[in-house]
């Protein structure tokens, strides 16, 4: 899941200056879960914009706005409302925002309502936790399914630094050292031998951006 937070209204209004009629696009998946771009948030920001003299011409909430086919379908249903608008405001992650722009047939400016934070999971309390950096060279198999690339502030992939103290991270003493967690998990699995295996340096070339993958 891609985690987002909504921008402050004052920033959004600054970019909408001179544009009165606004069409809103939300996200029926990640941003709905994050409460930054679902139907409830769309209605809330519509009310806020109208209180500042804007006119909201309409809105749509594609289930997955990062999928071009979904965006095309939803935008086509609102074609006349979009053409009657001065601008489009998208409440989604950066992927969704760019997909809207690339599939918008009307020549209208597209504006950003959310900041994209990270790719995360939802824990039992409902909090969002960053656990994967999509580095392209996954080592979870040998680290007990705990990602040191993401969860170690220093990104260490071969073991802990010398600063961990009583199992706590040197950078953030409120957090457990991820390599202590990895050790304990591998011990529980009776796989501590993995820590002794020599591995090649991490292949950072797999993380060179922009990346793409073509399905054969």
CA dist 211 to 45, 82, 92, 135, 199, Å?
Answer: 34, 32, 21, 11, 25
The pair of three-digit structure tokens given for residue 169, joined into one six-digit string: 């991270």
Tokens of 79: 């074609």
pLDDT, residue 138, reads 93
The rounded distance, in Å, linking the Cα atoms of 19 and 47 is 16
At 208 the pLDDT is 86
pLDDT at residue 5, rounded to an integer: 97
Collect the ranges in the chain with pLDDT lower than 70: 216
pLDDT confidence of residue 206: 87
Using one digit for the tens of pLDDT, what is the confidence trace for 170-208?
999 999 999 999 999 999 999 999 999 988 888 888 888
User: Are the CB atoms for 135 and 206 separated by under 8 Å?
Assistant: yes
- Domains of the chain: residue spans and CATH: 2-117 (3.40.50.2300), 134-207 (no CATH)
Q: What percent of the chain is helix, strand and coil (3-state, nearest 5)?
A: 35, 20, 50
Number of H helices, E strands in the chain: 8, 7
Render the burial of 165-187: b for 16+ CB within 10 Å, e for the rest: eeeebeeeeeeebbbebbbeebe
Rounded Cα gap, residues 85 and 55, in angstroms: 9
For the beta carbon of residue 192, count every other beta carbon within 10 angstroms.
14
Residue whose entry in the numeric block shows the structure tokens 């999509």 = 134
In degrees and rounded to multiples of 5, residue 156 shows phi and psi of -75, 135
d(CA 153, CA 174): 13
């Amino acid at each position: 899941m891609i985690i987002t937070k909504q921008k402050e209204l004052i920033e959004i209004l600054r970019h909408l200056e001179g544009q009165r009629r606004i069409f809103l696009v939300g996200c029926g998946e990640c941003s709905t879960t994050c409460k930054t771009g679902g139907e409830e948030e769309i209605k809330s920001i519509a009310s806020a914009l109208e209180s500042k003299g804007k006119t909201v011409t309409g809105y749509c909430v594609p289930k997955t706005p990062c999928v071009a086919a979904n965006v095309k379908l939803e935008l086509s249903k609102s074609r006349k409302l979009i053409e009657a608008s001065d601008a489009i405001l998208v409440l989604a992650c950066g992927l969704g925002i760019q997909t809207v722009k690339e599939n918008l047939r009307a020549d209208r400016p597209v504006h950003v309502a959310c900041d994209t934070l990270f790719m995360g999971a939802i824990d039992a309390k409902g909090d969002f936790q960053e656990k994967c950096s999509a580095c392209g060279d996954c080592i979870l198999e040998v680290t007990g399914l705990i990602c040191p690339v993401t969860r170690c502030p220093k990104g260490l992939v071969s073991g802990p630094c010398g600063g961990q103290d009583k199992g706590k991270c040197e950078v953030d003493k409120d957090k457990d050292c991820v390599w202590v967690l990895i050790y304990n998990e591998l011990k529980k699995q009776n796989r501590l031998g993995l820590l002794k295996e020599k591995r090649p340096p991490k292949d950072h070339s797999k993380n060179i951006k922009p990346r793409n993958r073509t399905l054969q």
